[in-house]
Amino acid sequence: MGKVKQAIQEVEQEVIEIVESHGDISLPDVQTILFKKYFHKGDTGYFLDEDVVKKAYNKAVYEKENEEEYYQHLDEVL
């Protein structure tokens, strides 16, 4: 697996954990949590990349609400 893909999957997993543990949480709140956690680290990866976090948030919310897997091509359609 490529380093970029792996880094994006790490963001997705972190966002899924945040969404699942905080109930009804907004995208700006998720971004704030990630910012506070990763801003001071030397290598933030994609945790502060707005587009990556937004896609991960949409995926996490979709999967939580629909109890089914979110497919990447939905991002292209929406």
18-40 pLDDT, tens digit each: 999 998 999 999 999 999 998 88
pLDDT band at 68 (very low <50, low <70, confident <90, very high): low
Nearest to 48 by CA among 58, 37, 59: 37
Residue-wise pLDDT for 3-20, tens only, equals 888 989 999 999 999 999
Which residues are CB-contacts of 69 (< 8 A; sequence separation ≥ 6)? 63
Give the whole-angstrom CA distance, residue 20 versus residue 22.
Answer: 6
Contact predicate 48/36, CB 8 Å = no
Neighbours of 15 (CB within 10 A): 27
